[in-house]
C-alpha cells in the first residue's frame, strides 16, 4: 500500500520524521521503494541532474509525465509527488488545474509541487478544489533563478524572514498539505515548522523540519564538483562508476573481457574450449 496524505500528516502529529528523495528512473526508484522511503519527488531538478542543463527552466510537462510514469510503475510504497515545471502554473489558475490534472491523470502521481508563496494561494485553492493534493515550496525557488542571479540561502534579513513566514501560513490556509523549505536558516525553518500544522520538508534548512529531501544523485555523490554545505554524500558514486568504466575499457582493450565464462560455445568439451580460448 502506498503512503497516503493522512499518514504523512499523522507523522508530523506524532513527531515522526518524513523521508523523501528525488527519483527519475527505474533503477533508483526500485532501491528507494525497497528501503521504504516515505515519498518520492519527481523534481524538475531532472533538468540539471538528468539532462545536464544549468537550471530547471527548460523542463517540460511531457518530460515530468515521462519520468513520473517510470517512478510510479517501479514503486509500490512511497507517496509520489510530481513537480510542476516552470510556466505550467504561473500564468493563471486555469492553466495550473489543466496542467496538474494532466500530470496526475497521465503519470499516476499522487500530488503536485509548485514553487512560490502568497502569490500562488489562489492557484493552490483551485488545485485543491479540483481534488489535487499540493505541496508548496518556499525559500530558495530554483524556477526564479533569473531574478535571483544565483542559488543562495534565502530569508536572512528580517524582512525576508517575515515574508517567508507569511508565505508558509498562506500556503497552509490555501490548502497545501505539505511545504518544502529550501535553503533557509535553521531558526526560520524551526519557526515555520512550529507555526504551521502541515509537515515541512527541508533541503538546506537544518534538522528542525518534519522531514528531509535530497536529490538522489547528490546523496550518492554523483558529482565531485558539487559540494554545497547542506549536502551529506553517502557514497562516492562518481569514483565507483568511473573506476568501473575505466576497468571495463582496459579489459576490452587487452581482450580479458569477455572471459571464457562470459562466452557461449557450440562445443561442450572443456578441453576444446580451453584450447579455443587461449
CB-nearer residue toward ligand KIV: 62 or 251:
62
CB of 264 to ligand KIV, least distance (A): 44
Angstrom distance (rounded) from CA 48 to CA 32 = 20
- Strands 178-182, 200-203: pairing kind: parallel
CB of 59 to ligand KIV, least distance (A): 9
Report 38-97 residues binding ligand KIV (CB under 6 A). Answer: 41, 43-45, 83
CB of 2 to ligand KIV, least distance (A): 20
Catalytic residue among 119, 182, 247, 272: 182
Residue 28 CB: number of other CB atoms within 10 A? 18
CB-nearer residue toward ligand KIV: 44 or 167:
44
Question: Which of 96, 127, 213, 216 touches ligand KIV (CB under 6 A)?
Answer: 213
Instruction: Judge whether 253 counts as a catalytic residue.
Output: no
Distance linking the first and last C-alpha atoms of the chain: 54
Residue 111 CB: number of other CB atoms within 10 A? 23
CB of 43 to ligand KIV, least distance (A): 2
Find out whether the peptide bond into 191 is cis, omega within 30 degrees of 0. Answer: no
CB-nearer residue toward ligand KIV: 80 or 215:
215
CB-nearer residue toward ligand KIV: 228 or 258:
228
Establish if 200 lies at the interface with ligand KIV (CB under 6 A): no
User: Nearest residue to ligand KIV, using CB?
Assistant: 43
CB of 135 to ligand KIV, least distance (A): 9
Establish if 22 lies at the interface with ligand KIV (CB under 6 A): yes
Question: Which of 18, 180, 183, 188 touches ligand KIV (CB under 6 A)?
Answer: 180
Angstrom distance (rounded) from CA 65 to CA 93 = 20
CB of 80 to ligand KIV, least distance (A): 13
Residue 27 CB: number of other CB atoms within 10 A? 11
Angstrom distance (rounded) from CA 227 to CA 163 = 28
Span near ligand KIV by CB under 6 A; candidates 37-45, 60-68, 257-265, 268-276: 37-45
Question: Which of 65, 82, 203, 220 touches ligand KIV (CB under 6 A)?
Answer: 203
Which of 147, 79, 90 is CA-nearest to residue 117?
90
- Residues with catalytic annotation? 182
Q: Which residues contact ligand KIV (rule: CB under 6 A)?
A: 22, 41, 43-45, 83, 180, 182, 203, 213, 215
Amino acid at each position: 500500500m502506498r503512503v497516503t496524505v493522512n499518514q504523512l500528516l499523522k507523522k508530523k502529529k506524532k513527531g515522526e520524521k518524513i523521508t523523501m528523495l528525488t527519483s527519475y528512473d527505474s533503477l533508483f526508484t526500485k532501491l528507494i521503494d525497497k528501503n521504504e522511503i516515505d515519498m518520492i519527488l519527481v523534481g524538475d531538478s531532472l533538468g540539471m541532474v538528468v539532462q545536464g542543463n544549468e537550471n530547471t527552466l527548460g523542463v517540460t510537462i511531457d518530460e515530468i509525465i515521462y519520468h513520473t510514469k517510470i517512478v510510479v510503475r517501479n514503486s509500490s510504497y512511497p507517496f509520489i509527488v510530481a513537480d510542476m515545471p516552470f510556466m505550467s502554473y504561473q500564468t493563471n489558475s486555469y492553466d495550473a488545474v489543466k496542467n496538474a490534472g494532466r500530470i496526475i491523470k497521465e503519470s499516476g502521481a499522487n500530488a503536485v509541487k509548485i514553487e512560490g508563496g502568497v502569490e500562488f494561494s489562489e492557484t493552490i485553492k483551485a488545485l485543491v478544489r479540483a481534488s489535487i493534493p499540493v505541496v508548496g515550496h518556499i525559500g530558495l525557488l530554483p524556477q526564479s533563478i533569473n531574478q535571483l542571479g544565483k542559488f543562495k540561502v534565502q530569508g536572512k534579513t528580517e524582512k525576508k524572514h517575515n515574508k517567508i513566514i507569511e508565505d508558509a501560513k498562506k500556503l497552509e490556509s490555501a490548502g497545501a498539505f505539505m511545504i518544502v523549505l529550501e535553503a533557509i536558516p535553521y531558526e526560520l525553518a524551526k519557526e515555520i515548522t512550529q507555526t504551521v500544522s502541515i509537515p515541512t520538508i527541508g533541503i538546506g534548512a537544518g534538522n528542525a523540519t518534519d522531514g528531509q529531501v535530497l536529490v538522489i544523485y547528490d546523496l550518492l555523490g554523483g558529482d565531485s564538483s558539487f559540494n554545497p554545505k547542506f549536502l551529506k554524500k553517502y557514497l562516492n558514486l562518481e569514483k565507483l562508476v568511473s573506476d568501473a568504466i575505466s576497468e571495463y575499457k582496459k579489459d576490452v582493450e587487452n581482450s580479458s573481457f569477455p572471459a571464457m565464462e562470459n562466452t557461449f560455445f557450440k562445443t561442450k568439451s572443456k578441453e576444446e574450449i580451453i584450447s579455443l580460448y587461449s
